[in-house]
Amino acid sequence: MKIFIESVGILGPGLNGWQSSRAILAGTAPYLQAALVIPPGDLLPPAERRRTGVPVKLALAIGCEAIAQSQRNASELPAVFASSAGDGDNMHYIFDMLSKNGREVSPTRFHNSVHNAPSGYWSIATKSMAPTTSLACFDASFVAGLIEASTQTLASGNAVVLIAYDAPYPQSLHAARPISATFGVALVLTGNKTNRSLAELEISISRNSNASTPIADAGLEAIRVGTPAARSLPLLAVLASLNSEKIRTPDKIVQAKICFDYIAGNQLDVVVHPC
């Protein structure tokens, strides 16, 4: 498959949006570990906003950033949501309540615990009637989301926004399924090149056994290894470097290849071509 990336949204520890993170990801500025700051949003009504947890706030923030950069209308874009973890805080609360005699689970807690809750809030916030897909694929959730969103944009001819996010579980769930950081990335994908395209991706699934591509900075690599959504970091690093000497020189443009671990002995190979 050949698709194009128009824009990026990103939030993570020390990564506060695409514009401020590009130099860090390109390796031209140092990465400094810092607490995640999710910018406040006012797209949801106040009552709905109070009920949302970190995954919903994160998904809305990165999705809105990517779409704003692409200069598209969020209400018209199909969306693919990918998360390994979902809302762990709500799941923990429900499990705790079910372990007690009363077993009285809040309806609000329940509807916020389902895996497609962020997509529902997204539709409310953006007033979108476009279709959404919510999926999970354990550590390969970002990869599965990228395949799904790429397939959709090629099949439909429409731009699609991919929104991938994860957040750590509270204890004792964290002991059974550790996720190291809260991290989210959003990509607006198209099947055809536009005047806003950042790069062309050539995507293929293979049975090769190459190691997954790391990211050079040790702090970011720890986040990549420990957080499924952050498996995207090597791709983001290449995108951030497109206008630097690492990729573009006066006499040639160098492509970059990234390998992602997938499932059932497969891997996803992505070749990035600057636009």
Per residue in 87-112, pLDDT tens?
A: 989 988 888 888 888 777 888 888 88
Name, in order, each residue with C-beta under 8 angstroms of 136's C-beta and a sequence gap of 6 or more: 82, 83, 84, 86, 115, 144
The domain locations on the chain are 2-196
Tell me what pLDDT residue 243 has. 60
Tell me what pLDDT residue 244 has. 54
Tell me what pLDDT residue 96 has. 87
Q: Reduce the secondary structure of 45-104 to three states and give it as a string.
A: CHHHHHHCCHHHHHHHHHHHHHHHHHCCCHHHCCEEEECCCCCHHHHHHHHHHHCCCCCC
What's the whole-number mean pLDDT along residues 117-126? 94
Beta bridge pairs of residue 202: 2, 271
Tell me what pLDDT residue 252 has. 47
Kindly list the distances between the CA atom of residue 222 and the CA atoms of 18, 84, 162, 225, 230, in Å, as whole numbers in the listed order: 20, 17, 23, 5, 10
Quick one: fold of 2-196? Peroxisomal Thiolase; Chain A, domain 1 (3.40.47)
Average model confidence (pLDDT) across the chain: 92
pLDDT digit string (tens) for 189-234?
999 999 999 999 999 999 988 889 999 999 999 999 999 999 999 9
* Residue 133 in tokens: 């897909």
What's the whole-number mean pLDDT along residues 139-149? 98
What values do phi and psi take at 224, rounded to 5? -60, -45
What values do phi and psi take at 186, rounded to 5? -130, 140
